[in-house]
Structure 1
Amino acid sequence: MTRDLSRLLRPRSIAVLGSGWAQNVVEQCARMGFDGPVWPVHPTRNQIGGVAAFRSLADLPGVPDATFIGVNRHATLEVVAELAAMGAGGATCFASGWEEAGEADLQVALVAAAGNMPVLGPNCYGVINYLDGALLWPDQHGGRRVERGVALLSQSSNIVINMTMQARGLPVAYVACLGNAAQVGLAELAGALLADDRVTALGLYVEGIDDAPGFAALAEAARAAGKGIVCIKSGKTELAQVAAASHTASLAGGGAASSAFLRQAGVAEVNSPSELLETLKLFHVLAGAAGGPRLGGRLCSLSCSGGEAGLVADLAAPFGLEFPPPSDAQRERLGAILGPIVTIANPLDYHTFIWGDGPRTTDVFSTMLAGYDAGLFIIDPPRSDRCDPSSYGPALEAIRAAAAATGKPAIPLASLPENFDEGMAGEMLAQGMAPLMGLQEGLAAVKAAQTAPGRPGWRPVPAQATGGTRLLSEAEGKALLARAGIAVPRGIAAPTLAQLAERAGPLVPPLALKGLGFAHKTESGAVRLGLASLEGQAEMPGATGYLAEEMVAGAVAEVIIGARRDPVYGVTLTLGMGGVTAELLADTVTLVAPVGADEVTAALRRLRLWPLLDGYRGRPKADVAAMVTAVLAVQGLMLARPALAEIEINPLILRADGAVAVDALVREELP
């Protein structure tokens, strides 16, 4: 169903129902300078917030574009139905006590009453439009009117209220909350906010994603419009995953799937509100860039202190930020300006010989910045209430001039957040610079702004409902893998050890003996390796059958490939270093299907122990191409057979030539 949210988000008239909280809405619209009519509705009060009240919706002089509903949940149902019948533009439902309180039927009734009329919530604070001064918001906030700026969308009202109190100079155009998102969901509301040409970027606080394919489409549309999206995804510590039956389940926990999804959709992910706000500054300044706003990977850093240069280098390392050395031409030019005492490097400590000399400072800044994708200029002006910051003027102007001369992003970065006050930060943003406040959060923002755009047209596999599952025997699982083209050891299965010994004659020792019916055979004592024969082997308690296989020689590395149905993202793939120490190493990457060979290879290169696969210190190189082929085969099985719930190969033995699935766990949905 397609809904038009424009009247709700950009109303020309607002109705307000309720008393206490509703009064705040009326007063805030007046304070913010909303130039349309605000119509309080109350059955007994003559005025609310100093504005004459109407007894009922039927008494209103017109049909409201937007309505704040601040009455109890049962009365909310009646109001929503009446508004929908009137042709109102939309409403926010403030009352709590719906699905979050176990009243799912009441929430279903609310959606039915709304029909095609957009409804935010319930259990929702609402929306603030700082562009037009329209507030459907019952609480305090820290924003002010702007002509253009970023939108903040949150699944937590308190989190976004806190962000409106920022004193970082970031212009905020909209604040919106989803509440229970009974009708209007995350992707729909985000898309409606980004559709406003005055919105430059979108910041999200997300507890859950309700429509992953729709969200991926939204992210692609935002990039096409030159607008960046940055997200905090909460709820990453999924402790229940640890108790799951497979290595894949625990290794893919901790938000790995959501982070993989955001990365593949081209959405920047950060960990804190301060990092989100700083990243939004970059996206705000870079808005309109073809293919979406993004910083390149080659950075330079300039400061007038060796301590600052060293600190930047140290703090940037965990983020993987790169500071390549200057070119010979840059060294020559910078050396001529700065003199023989200054060591020309990156990060650059340019000393204070040029301090206060605007033209020479501009020359240094421009020369350095010209050779890079973007530059960080570490500068901490003195506080104006106790000091005189005027001597910092030439350096600040030189940063702006360097950006203008080179066409490259020049980013002022204060080592402490408070060292740029709000007025100074706002002025720099108005000049087209993104003043980052705090080294740690500033560097995190720079890294986030380097997020690669998603693959055009990429959408995750739609999620499907899952129920109970059954564990296939390893023999059944390996037969499935073999049919998909994945090499497995030559082996024989039998229901008893005696029968297995009778049939194992064609197998060439050394042999591996495994008991069937266990998710984790090693922990259950159901694996015996290096056997010369099967004669005299004791039974394995709890085994439902037995499997004997020829052992695989020539191993270069043991890796893991896991694929699982995900209730949000469809199918996830976990790849990394495997074997019995897979969880101890915890060196894995997660992808969201579908992916291609290039994406799988790039993901493997992100492993900490990638050098072990790539011939570390003269070791033989593993056949990574064979692993990539196996990953794509596992993905193909999951996409072609919806009944498959999970496939795990651990280990996949990588040899110098080829790969063999030594152990396999396969679960499928019960009929």
Structure 2
Amino acid sequence: MDRLGRLFRPKSIVVIGGGAWGEAVLRQCQKIGFAGDLWMVHPTKEDIAGLIPYRSIADLPHAPDAAYVAVNRLATIDVIRDLAAMGAGGAVCFASGFKEASAEDADGTNFQTALLEAAGDMPIIGPNCYGFLNYRDGVTLWPDQHGGKRVESGVALITQSSNVAINLTMQKRGLPIAYVVTVGNQAQTGLSEVGKSLLSDPKVTALGLYIEGIDDLAGFTELAHYAQSIGKPIVALKIGRSEQAQKAAVSHTASLAGSDAGADALLARLGVGRVRSLSALLESLKLLHVLGPLPSTAIASMSCSGGEASLMADTAHGTEISFPSLTDTQRQQLRATLGLLVALSNPLDYHTFIWGNEDAMAATFTAMMTPAVALGIVILDFPRPDRCTHPDWDLVCNAVARAQEASCQPVAILGSLVENIPEEVAERLITQGILPFCGLDEALEAITVAASLGRIAPDWTPAPPPVIRAGQTLTEAEAKAALSAHGIRTPTAIRTTRAILSEVAAQLTYPVVLKGEGITHKTEAGAVALNLATPEAVKNAAVAMPTDSFLLEEMITGTVAELLIGVVLDPAHGYVLTLAAGGTLTEILNDSVSLILPVSDDDIGRALAHLRIAPLLRGYRGASPANLQSIIDSVLALQDYVLTHHPYEVEINPLMCGSDHATAADALITTGEPDD
């Protein structure tokens, strides 16, 4: 059952609070043409926005489906209590000064607790939020201007910023928006529950999120699974970084796998597309509304300008976008239409020879579409409608429609600048089933996101993050012993002191490695000496090390590559696994992939293949390949340790990867302690 359905799709609305904000909500409801009962409650005023207010909530004809509470924080609690007692469907709490208040205002948290107790089972949105817009049913529990209008179907937007929500409604890209919801403090009702409610509307095609922080990891996972089950994609713009993860700076892993990497990994695993800007969010949602997810990032680009063709190719360079080469059949078809003077390629500059010839343009666009292409794009920047006319541009639109019908494949029209497709043109194209892209960079990012959604099925649940803080940092020997107990191969080692170092060294098999204990970054501190061949070499190496405690280890040989494998706890997203180039290359290459635990053999294999040093693992220029299964087994053993013991962070750097082994040459573990 949809707990929020009555609130988001009400037949009756009451506004409590006669100030400017409350009156604005009434006027917005009247402006959009809300068809249900619209009431006002105020103890003294005789007229607000043309309505005669009721003197109290108890005087209302019956329990409202939705209430907008626009009074101060203390009065809000009493109003919510009265609404819940009479069986209201839910309420928007506009007031601020609750848990989001400054640290000096201790009452903020107390007020929020009291608010939750007053609401009981009645849904509340906020506090500290603008409310919501339902453009499907003409519901505007919203105290300000907005740029939207009634739609039959469209996308839904949820934001944790009311101002961002206002800005999104002002878009002129032709994107039909069905709902906009701001969630404020998420004191009771979080983003995840709101998302499920909006997606349950059969006329909502996709969900866009502006996320500052995920309200509930389990709930967000449930939202992603629900969206996948009903075939409605989610795209998110995730901002903000976890302060806790940034503080975990003892290991390289912590710096590589901050909260941003954790967010990337979580969203990818859950099949949620991630974008970098509000513009890309809108363009991605528009693509998904019109076409749904794409099978690939392969496109056919067409324009009447060599400059535009080059711009398309250059903008796509370094991205996942590809341009399939033309087949012989395509070349024959294009040559018959374009003649001998046009260079045939993808991206295609079809020149202006056929400009204004709808039949020739339709034939050209159709010829460019093959099964190897997921989307065709015709670059078409319209002239300013206030100063120019565009009858010839309309012919291009007609040709695109014909090509889409003839090829049975989607063909988009792309304005290289955001403002160069007028809103009325974009809206008309969408009614024809043609995607109008606004902005070249945003379009290519949207294509990449839509293709990634087509490849991912979120049948995975993250490991719940324990509520812990950083505890004790184990010595290297202790860390290796702990990991060895879970199946990770470590070098044979002896701990010793400076006083008996010569005696111990005389009994070893060489070559060996000498490490100074109690030093976090040993290489930088000069506390590692490799490939020592004699007892005298061991003794000399120890002289320069700033410690009296040492670890003597066998020297691992036959190494193909060095990896870093580590896990750090990100309180917002769970345990983040990082696979990276290891040893001295960690900072130099910045070559890493992050995943959220738990992971499988296949997950690890795919992640390793994405590293820039993957050719070394496979055997570069005839060299022996690394034993991939040993690497995978080491990562799985590390995962087993983490999920069993719940450390704060753990790192192996380097994992020495040879043709017949993967050995943890160095290890660091910071234990976890209960966060009281």
TM bucket, shorter chain: over 0.9
Kindly provide the CA deviation profile for residues 608-664 of structure 1, in whole angstroms up to 9, marking residues without a partner as x. Answer: 33334333444443333332221122112212223x222201011122332211110
Task: Indicate which of 545, 561, 578 corresponds to 1:574.
Answer: 578
SS of aligned partner of 1:370: coil
The farther-off stretch of 258-267 and 341-350 is 341-350
- Does the C-alpha gap of structure 1 residues 383 and 460 become closer, same or farther in structure 2, counting only changes over 3 Å? same
Q: Which position in structure 1 is the counterpart of 2:76?
A: 76
SS of aligned partner of 1:51: coil
Task: Indicate which of 247, 254, 260 corresponds to 1:249.
Answer: 254
CA distance in 2, matches of 1:591, 1:450: 20
In the TM superposition, residue 277 of structure 1 has moved relative to its aligned partner by 0.6
Kindly provide the CA deviation profile for residues 554-575 of structure 1, in whole angstroms up to 9, marking residues without a partner as x. Answer: 2222110011222122211001
CA distance in 1, matches of 2:559, 2:152: 63
Q: Which position in structure 2 is the counterpart of 1:164?
A: 169
Q: Which position in structure 2 is the counterpart of 1:486?
A: 488
Q: Which position in structure 1 is the counterpart of 2:348?
A: 348
The farther-off stretch of 612-621 and 445-454 is 612-621
Identity of aligned residues (%): 49
Q: Does the 8 Å contact 1:492/1:504 carry over to 2?
A: no
Q: Does the 8 Å contact 1:492/1:500 carry over to 2?
A: no
Task: Indicate which of 654, 658, 664 corresponds to 1:655.
Answer: 658
SS of aligned partner of 1:318: coil
Q: Which position in structure 1 is the counterpart of 2:178?
A: 173
Q: Does 1:603 align with 2:604?
A: no
CA distance in 2, matches of 1:73, 1:607: 52
Q: Which position in structure 2 is the counterpart of 1:464?
A: 466
Q: Does the 8 Å contact 1:500/1:548 carry over to 2?
A: no
The farther-off stretch of 297-306 and 156-165 is 297-306
SS of aligned partner of 2:210: strand
SS of aligned partner of 1:47: coil
Kindly provide the CA deviation profile for residues 164-185 of structure 1, in whole angstroms up to 9, marking residues without a partner as x. Answer: 0111111111110010000001
Q: Which position in structure 2 is the counterpart of 1:28?
A: 28
- Supply the AA of the counterpart residue of 2:222: A
CA distance in 2, matches of 1:348, 1:394: 19
Q: Which position in structure 2 is the counterpart of 1:320?
A: 320
Q: Which position in structure 1 is the counterpart of 2:226?
A: 221
CA distance in 2, matches of 1:341, 1:62: 76
SS of aligned partner of 1:627: helix
- Supply the AA of the counterpart residue of 1:563: V
Q: Does the 8 Å contact 2:242/2:570 carry over to 1?
A: no
Kindly provide the CA deviation profile for residues 282-315 of structure 1, in whole angstroms up to 9, marking residues without a partner as x. Answer: 011124xxxxx33423221111111111110110
Q: Does the 8 Å contact 2:242/2:572 carry over to 1?
A: no
SS of aligned partner of 1:244: coil
Q: Which position in structure 2 is the counterpart of 1:474?
A: 476
In the TM superposition, residue 52 of structure 1 has moved relative to its aligned partner by 1.0
Kindly provide the CA deviation profile for residues 260-292 of structure 1, in whole angstroms up to 9, marking residues without a partner as x. Answer: 1111111111111111111110011124xxxxx
In the TM superposition, residue 3 of structure 1 has moved relative to its aligned partner by 6.5
SS of aligned partner of 2:468: coil
CA distance in 2, matches of 1:70, 1:540: 70
In the TM superposition, residue 455 of structure 1 has moved relative to its aligned partner by 3.7
CA distance in 1, matches of 2:656, 2:580: 12
Q: Which position in structure 1 is the counterpart of 2:553?
A: 549
Q: Does 1:121 align with 2:126?
A: yes
CA distance in 1, matches of 2:110, 2:333: 72
In the TM superposition, residue 600 of structure 1 has moved relative to its aligned partner by 1.6
CA distance in 2, matches of 1:237, 1:467: 14
Q: Which position in structure 1 is the counterpart of 2:67?
A: 67
Q: Does 1:147 align with 2:152?
A: yes
Q: Does the 8 Å contact 1:3/1:117 carry over to 2?
A: no
Please show how residues 75-114 of structure 1 align to structure 2 within 5 Å: 75-101=75-101, 102=103, 103-114=108-119
Please show how residues 509-520 of structure 1 align to structure 2 within 5 Å: 509-520=510-521
- Does the C-alpha gap of structure 1 residues 492 and 139 become closer, same or farther in structure 2, counting only changes over 3 Å? same
Q: Does the 8 Å contact 2:382/2:422 carry over to 1?
A: no
- Supply the AA of the counterpart residue of 1:621: P
Kindly provide the CA deviation profile for residues 322-346 of structure 1, in whole angstroms up to 9, marking residues without a partner as x. Answer: 1120222222222222222222211
CA distance in 2, matches of 1:213, 1:409: 36
Q: Does the 8 Å contact 2:68/2:91 carry over to 1?
A: yes
Kindly provide the CA deviation profile for residues 566-594 of structure 1, in whole angstroms up to 9, marking residues without a partner as x. Answer: 21222110011111341232111110111
In the TM superposition, residue 209 of structure 1 has moved relative to its aligned partner by 0.4
Q: Does 1:440 align with 2:428?
A: no
- Does the C-alpha gap of structure 1 residues 451 and 577 become closer, same or farther in structure 2, counting only changes over 3 Å? same
Q: Which position in structure 2 is the counterpart of 1:290?
A: none
- Does the C-alpha gap of structure 1 residues 669 and 500 become closer, same or farther in structure 2, counting only changes over 3 Å? farther
The farther-off stretch of 633-642 and 53-62 is 633-642
For structure 2, which runs of at least 5 residues remain unmatched after alignment?
none
CA distance in 1, matches of 2:408, 2:65: 43
Q: Which position in structure 1 is the counterpart of 2:400?
A: 399
Q: Does the 8 Å contact 2:627/2:660 carry over to 1?
A: yes
Please show how residues 177-216 of structure 1 align to structure 2 within 5 Å: 177-216=182-221
Q: Does the 8 Å contact 2:284/2:446 carry over to 1?
A: yes
Kindly provide the CA deviation profile for residues 372-401 of structure 1, in whole angstroms up to 9, marking residues without a partner as x. Answer: 121111111222333231112222112122
SS of aligned partner of 1:492: strand
- Does the C-alpha gap of structure 1 residues 437 and 508 become closer, same or farther in structure 2, counting only changes over 3 Å? same
SS of aligned partner of 1:547: strand
Please show how residues 25-64 of structure 1 align to structure 2 within 5 Å: 25-64=25-64
Q: Which position in structure 2 is the counterpart of 1:332?
A: 332
SS of aligned partner of 1:461: coil
The farther-off stretch of 480-489 and 568-577 is 480-489
SS of aligned partner of 1:262: helix
CA distance in 1, matches of 2:125, 2:463: 27
- Supply the AA of the counterpart residue of 1:602: R
Q: Does 1:584 align with 2:585?
A: no
The farther-off stretch of 608-617 and 72-81 is 608-617
Q: Which position in structure 1 is the counterpart of 2:278?
A: 273
Q: Does the 8 Å contact 1:500/1:547 carry over to 2?
A: no
CA distance in 2, matches of 1:232, 1:426: 24
CA distance in 2, matches of 1:242, 1:522: 22
CA distance in 1, matches of 2:244, 2:639: 26
Q: How many correspondences in the alignment?
A: 663
RMSD over equivalenced CA pairs, Å: 2.0
Q: Does the 8 Å contact 2:245/2:259 carry over to 1?
A: no
CA distance in 2, matches of 1:378, 1:116: 53
Kindly provide the CA deviation profile for residues 523-551 of structure 1, in whole angstroms up to 9, marking residues without a partner as x. Answer: 33332223222335546877584211011
Q: Does the 8 Å contact 1:342/1:351 carry over to 2?
A: yes
- Supply the AA of the counterpart residue of 2:477: A
Q: Does the 8 Å contact 1:242/1:253 carry over to 2?
A: no
Q: Which position in structure 2 is the counterpart of 1:530?
A: 531
Q: Does the 8 Å contact 1:428/1:435 carry over to 2?
A: yes
- Supply the AA of the counterpart residue of 1:219: A
